Amino acid sequence: MSDWEAVIGLEVHVQLLTHSKIFSSSATAYGAEPNAQANALDLAMPGTLPVMNAHAVALAVRFGLAVDAEIAQRSVFARKNYFYPDLPKGYQISQYELPIVIGGGLHIVTEDGHARYVPLTRAHLEEDAGKSVHDVFHAETGVDLNRAGTPLLEIVTDPALSNASEAVAFLKALHTLVRWLGVSDGNMQEGSFRCDANVSVRQRGAALGTRAEVKNVNSFRFVEKAIDYEIERQIRIIEAGGSIVQETRLFDAHRGETRSMRGKESAHDYRYFPDPDLPPLRIGADLIEAERARMPELPQGRARRYIESLGLSTYDAANLTTDRAVSEYFEALCAAIPGHAKLCANWVSGEWLGALNAADLGPERSPLSAARLAGLLKRIVDGSLSSKMAKQVFDALWRGDESADEISERLGLKKVSDSGALSALVDEVIAAYPAQVAQFRHGNEKVLQFFVGQVMKSSKGQADPVQLNALLRAKLA
């Protein structure tokens, strides 16, 4: 195999978390009945005019600041003209020559620990199109314009990624960031975070190859497969003497391959021109300062702080900074029992997230507050509860609203570490099983576990394992 390298650029369309659409005041909620959320402007009725949503602008500025981009003082909305049923005006209002966000970038770390910086070309505001359904009607396509006019931020990277793994790492970091900032809910199933990849290959040192665009891949796993497949496909074609067609391709998840979009014309002539219904957008210093002032600690900075100040591992820090609500919960927990960051991290990433997932709840809907969970962790720290007991208490904490102490009391859970009581239990078990005692004394170490098990049974799991072990060894010697 000769010296091939891939050049990948990503375009991500992110739906902004606004109550109303970008140019009309229709609601943006997902899942309404077809065309129930489409007003006269969304339906492109004659004489209707666009009016810009202030919050969409604020979110774009917020994003731009978070990636250290330049916020354009003056940006222009342009019409992208083409005919399609889900585009009611026959043009999409977007931004072309003068976008609102310019440059910036994101630091990423791939799964195998390779770190790099991914520069962004730009990000711009535009409106989403509606949806076409082809499988509801026999001989027709149905058009639902509820989504038409939803605000999008289109984020474009430089063609600077070299493989699928980097692409996925970038997308994950971007996904975390937009959710963290409240810019988008990033819901890929509902279409709030849509990735397109531009992929080309070339021999090392050669000029850029022709690129193909793989559109609308809606999971990180599929993005990885699609890019890998596409790179391989292109190399195969070129090595066989063919050439790459500049085209748009779709990823077929069933077959794990990309397919050319049938019936899609070659390069559209979009006839971009500044929208005469919308004067240029001017962003003043006050809007920028307002967004800068409310900028939270960003996930990557926070992860670094967890590693440096709290001594967490890179893995733990990453886990705890993927979702802002999780991170806030973790910090509340740490504040309640300072000095035990690792313990808090384990319980947040382990039991707590596990319980949330099982109940299909988001972190903001946790029935268990950090304060109550802290009550449980304190008992682990001071030794009154073993890990096993603690898990039992956790289940009860989750389901009710008692405190950890109230639950332990109710269930009669208390680590039996009182040497006298434990000693008595050990004596009972040793007396009951003379054969096993003999086996142990003859050198069978494994039999110790049998005794541990028996004592645990008779103590209803409350024996302190460390003490128990020491006692057994002493008495069996």
Partner 1 sequence: MSAELFTLSAQLSALSRGEISSRALTEITLERAAASQPLHNALITTLGESARSEADACDARRAQGPVGTLSGVPYAHKDLFCTAGVLTTCGSKMLSNFVPPYSAAVHESLQEAGGVLIGKANMDEFAMGSSNEHSHFGPVKNPWDLTRVPGGSSGGSAALVAARVVAFATGSDTGGSVRQPAAFCGVTGFKPTYGRVSRHGMIAYASSLDQAGVIATTVEDCARILSVVSGFDPRDSTSSNVAAIAIEPALTRSLKGLRIGRPRQWFGAGIEDGVGTAVEDALAEYVRQGATIVDIDLPASAWSIPAYYVIAPAEASSNLARFDGVRYGHRCENPRDLNDLYRRSRAEGFGHEVQRRILIGTYALSAGYYDAYYRRAQQVRRLIAEDFARAFTKVDVLAGPTSPTVAFKLGEKLADPLALYLADVNTVGVNLAGLPGVSVPCGFSNGLPVGLQLVAATWREDLLITAGHGYQQVTEWHRATPPERDHV
Partner 2 sequence: MSVDRALVRSIAELARLSISPQHEEAAAIELAAVLDLFEALSAAPVNALQPLSHPGDPELRLRDDVAVAGDQRNAFEVLAPAMSGGYYLVPKVIE
**From partner 1, partner 2, none, which one binds at residue 46 (CB under 5 to 8 Å depending on kind)?**
partner 1
**From partner 1, partner 2, none, which one binds at residue 394 (CB under 5 to 8 Å depending on kind)?**
none
Residue located via tokens 């910090």:
331
Distances (CA, A) of 30 to 7, 18, 90, 145, 426: 35, 12, 24, 12, 62
Q: Where in 13-42 is the site for partner 1 (CB under 8 A)?
A: 40
Query: Per CB under 8 A, does 286 bind partner 2?
Result: no
Helix (H, G, I), strand (E, B) or coil at 13: strand
Q: Where in 234-253 is the site for partner 1 (CB under 8 A)?
A: none
Query: Per CB under 8 A, does 54 bind partner 1?
Result: no
Contacts of 288 (CB under 8 A, 6+ apart): 61, 65, 71
Query: Per CB under 8 A, does 208 bind partner 2?
Result: no
Q: Where in 78-137 is the site for partner 1 (CB under 8 A)?
A: 79, 81, 83, 85, 88-91
Distance separating alpha carbons of residues 335 and 413, to the nearest angstrom: 26
Q: Which is nearer to partner 1, 45 or 361 (CB)?
A: 45
Distance separating alpha carbons of residues 368 and 370, to the nearest angstrom: 7
- Minimum CB separation of residue 292 from partner 1 in Å reads 27
Q: Which is nearer to partner 1, 67 or 281 (CB)?
A: 281
**From partner 2, partner 1, none, which one binds at residue 79 (CB under 5 to 8 Å depending on kind)?**
partner 1
Rule CB under 8 A: choose which of 16, 60, 71, 143 binds partner 1: 143
Query: Per CB under 8 A, does 216 bind partner 2?
Result: no
Torsion angle, alpha carbons of 223, 224, 229, 235, to 10: 110
Contacts of 111 (CB under 8 A, 6+ apart): 165, 168, 169
Radius of gyration of the chain (CA): 30
Query: Per CB under 8 A, does 97 bind partner 2?
Result: no
| 420 class by beta-carbon count within 10 Å (0-12 exposed, 13-18 middle, 19+ buried) | exposed
Number of residues that bind partner 1 (CB under 8 A): 29
Query: Per CB under 8 A, does 52 bind partner 1?
Result: yes
Cα-flanking dihedrals φ and ψ of residue 18, to 5°? -120, 160
Query: Per CB under 8 A, does 346 bind partner 1?
Result: no
Angle at 79 between CA 75 and CA 80, to 5 degrees: 120
Query: Applying CB under 8 A, which residues contact partner 1?
Result: 40, 43-52, 79, 81, 83, 85, 88-91, 141, 143, 269, 271-273, 276-279
Query: Applying CB under 8 A, which residues contact partner 2?
Result: 18-20, 25-28, 33-40, 43, 45, 51-57, 77, 83, 85, 132-134, 136-137, 139-145, 261-264, 269, 271, 274, 276, 278-282
